[in-house]
Amino acid sequence: MNIIQDLFGKSPFGPLVEHTKKVHECVEMLKPLMEALVNEDYEEIHRIQDKISRLEYEADNIKHEVRQHLPRRYFMPVERVELERFISCQDKIADKVEDFAVILTLRKTKLHPAVMDKFFDFIEQIFQVTGTLLGAAVELKNLAEVSFSGAEARHVLDILHGLNEEEWKADRMARSLSKDVYALEKQLDPITIIFYEKMILTLSAIANEAENAGDMLRTMIVK
């Protein structure tokens, strides 16, 4: 058995799924972060930021393990470079979540009541985007077993179509939220306006990277 495993290598798809799940754990911290911001609990923001940093580190460890043991001789139904790109896109999701957490630690910013609900709705939509990606990515092992074809592949493509739609919704929400933020320019100082916009842009980047990861997964299927 050891000779056979050495010859063909070990499938990387199981660890890839674990990487996806760990990245999604990072995204799940967005709502607690915003709740702490609304409550002006800046110590809690720092605690959550530390937790996200730890989760991101754990995701990095899984990523490095996958890359280190990504087989060169394993008869994979997809190209090694495609898996590398998929991992990189997912890695950027966790990085952007950590960036957002760090931003909130930079100053004791108060969230204006006029944009609170929209910020939470936006985060919920981002969670919808990344959750849809997770739903597609957890099928990686099953896809590998059928060589990324057949009914299983069509099912994942349907999920990925939904991912694109959810990301489109997130883009629209980001633009709407930005308009609401700039409508407050007579009530807020310029630094706070810029800070809000930086929050929006970083949150948008999370959804964008999730869509990019979905595009990489689609490439693996349709190729």
What integer best gives the mean pLDDT of the chain?
A: 88
All structural domains of the chain, each given as residue ranges with its CATH number in brackets, are 2-222 (1.20.58.220)
Q: What is the pLDDT of residues 145-158, one digit of tens each?
A: 777 778 888 888 88
Has residue 43 got a pLDDT over 70? yes
121 pLDDT band (50/70/90 cuts)? very high
pLDDT of 7 reads: 36
pLDDT for res 1: 37
Query: Which long-range CB contacts under 8 A does 44-49 form with residues at least 24 apart?
Result: 45/101, 45/104, 45/105, 46/105, 48/101, 49/98, 49/101, 49/102, 49/104, 49/105
Higher pLDDT, 101 or 82: 101
Q: Who wins on pLDDT, 143 or 201? A: 201
For residue 10, name the pLDDT band (cuts at 50, 70, 90): low
Sign (positive/negative) of CA torsion 38, 40, 41, 46?
positive
